[in-house]
Chain A
Amino acid sequence: MWLFNSSVGKKVVMSITGLGLVLFLTFHMTMNCVALFSAEGYRFICEFLGANWYAIVGTIGLALLMVIHIAYATWLTLSNKKARGNERYAVTARPKGVEFASRNMFVLGLIVFLGLVLHLCNFWAKMQLVELRGGIPEDGVDLIRYTFSKWYFVLLYLIWFGAIWFHLTHGFWSAIQTIGMSNRKWFVRWKWIGYIFVTLLMLGFVGVVVTFFCYETFHWPFLASIFGGLA
């Protein structure tokens, strides 16, 4: 099967799972933003994505995407290292046009994974997991307020978002290139589309965290008057 034993096939798996995860992040960001504008709306989403069969199927699907993406990343990284040979160059230079992210996707991915573990402990373990065990999940809005009132969580999340930004700015066009949907013209376009899309995506995540942090720390009334969800 070419998805297992050819280099391009393995990359296609990375590409498709990666794009799937980007799509998930897009939904996630959109739903986070709801918390800014309506606490009621956010609670409805939390309930909707609780221990319902469709939410559980979605969670399992997501977990599968993650596991496949990480497993293939490890597999590819190890075999690529082997292909490089045992002798390393004494002098290396980064040629023009080579992005930082493209050379460090595995390390960035590792940071993203560690952030994910923290995030699951912060939220998922107190909501869907509790409900699955038959308990009563914590209130989503309260959890956001509590987590992002702590400066250290805010800092860790911002570092995490930074790593995701780097990972995705390369990952996006790289995924498109891998499935062959690029050429001389579209390479530049995909790169721009990727940078703009990923930046907006991450700004959405950052915006929610920073807004809640500022509101919980400084209690600026104008924030509550702009964002109905804070009131």
Chain B
Amino acid sequence: MDKNISFTLRVWRQRGPKEKGEFKQYFMEDIPGDTSFLEMLDILNEKLINRNEEPIVFDHDCREGICGMCSLYINGHPHGPATGATTCQIYMRRFQDGDVITVEPWRSAGFPVIRDLMVDRRAFDKIMAAGGYVSVNTGGVPDANAIPIPKAAADEAMDAAACIGCGACVAACKNGSAMLFVSAKVSQLALLPQGKVEAKRRVKAMLAKMDELGFGACTNTRACEAECPKCVSISNIARLNRQFIGAKLSD
């Protein structure tokens, strides 16, 4: 059993996209260490509701690290202090008694704040809609080994497909760039025979959409890779660059 801790929460409160936001402090008392970060916010929200105050708005869904909805910037790290974990997988035992924990929304021109800690990440959906799919009719279930795929390529594609589209890469990037996300989504298909057919069109369309939506350019700081809850590698960005340059040169 973890010990209970008491700490101060500094939470970003902002009533709407155009409103001016500010930090509000909340003192949390006797929170058990095995409370998850989001459960801790639930406890706070229940208190706020009972006091007739507005609860804190934050995104969350599956709470098991696969949906990509939770998105808190905790103490200078997207998804908090752990590596390879989402916000919902953070437990209060990671913090010390008496800590001041600062919670902010993702901050990037591509992700405007909707309210409090919730940001609008529909830009990612738009990038996906621009080309992040395979549009061939695949028909019925084919024989498992009808199309041979090297193990290395399958593994690499699977690692890229681990991206849950949470936007931590954009939140971590000093340039607000979505390159890690786009590169993972391009790679997961480009490495497989089914995806290669449309690879050129896909990479051009997705990158153009990313630029159009106001995300920045990559300066290879590797902050995205370090903060990615699914440990997506920047080798995907090299692949994206390679594919994009190749596609443009063959135009």
Residues of A within 8 A of B (CB): 2, 5-12, 76, 79-93, 95-99, 102-103, 105, 170, 173-174, 177-184, 187
Shortest distance between the CB of B243 and any CB in chain A (Å): 7
Question: Which of B110, B216, B220 lies in contact with A178, CB distance below 8 A?
Answer: B220
Answer yes or no: B77 CB below 8 A from chain A CBs: yes
Answer yes or no: B211 CB below 8 A from chain A CBs: yes
Contact A80:B216 (CB < 8 A) given known A187-B234, A187-B238: yes
| A99 CA / B215 CA spacing, docked (Å) | 22
Question: Which of A5, A96, A173, A180 lies in contact with B239, CB distance below 8 A?
Answer: A180
Q: Quick one: closest A residue to B173, CB to CB? A: A84
Note all chain B residues with C-beta closer than 8 A to A2: 248
Question: Which of A76, A80, A86, A187 lies in contact with B235, CB distance below 8 A?
Answer: A187
Which stretch (B48-56, B58-66, B87-95, B222-230) binds chain A? B222-230
Q: Is the interface of A mostly helix, strand, loop or mixed?
A: helix
Q: Quick one: closest A residue to B226, CB to CB? A: A95
Can you list 28 pairs linking A and B with CB atoms under 8 Å apart?
A7-B179, A7-B216, A8-B245, A11-B218, A80-B176, A80-B177, A80-B217, A82-B216, A83-B215, A86-B109, A87-B21, A89-B104, A90-B23, A90-B102, A91-B76, A93-B75, A95-B172, A95-B222, A95-B226, A97-B225, A103-B174, A178-B241, A179-B245, A180-B238, A180-B246, A183-B238, A184-B235, A187-B235
| A82 CA / B108 CA spacing, docked (Å) | 9
Answer yes or no: B124 CB below 8 A from chain A CBs: no
Q: Is the interface of B mostly helix, strand, loop or mixed?
A: mixed
Determine if A7 and B107 form an interchain contact, defined as CB atoms under 8 angstroms apart. Answer: no
Contact A89:B220 (CB < 8 A) given known A12-B245, A80-B175: no
Answer yes or no: B25 CB below 8 A from chain A CBs: no
Question: Which of A92, A103, A177, A179 lies in contact with B234, CB distance below 8 A?
Answer: A177
Answer yes or no: B73 CB below 8 A from chain A CBs: yes
Closest 6 CB pairs of A and B: A180-B242, A83-B216, A93-B76, A95-B226, A80-B175, A7-B217
Determine if B104 and A180 form an interchain contact, defined as CB atoms under 8 angstroms apart. Answer: no
Note all chain B residues with C-beta closer than 8 A to A92: 76
| A44 CA / B140 CA spacing, docked (Å) | 75
Contact A181:B242 (CB < 8 A) given known A83-B214, A87-B107: yes
Note all chain B residues with C-beta closer than 8 A to A174: 219-220
Answer yes or no: B163 CB below 8 A from chain A CBs: no
Determine if A76 and B217 form an interchain contact, defined as CB atoms under 8 angstroms apart. Answer: yes
Question: Which of A80, A89, A91, A179 lies in contact with B241, CB distance below 8 A?
Answer: A179
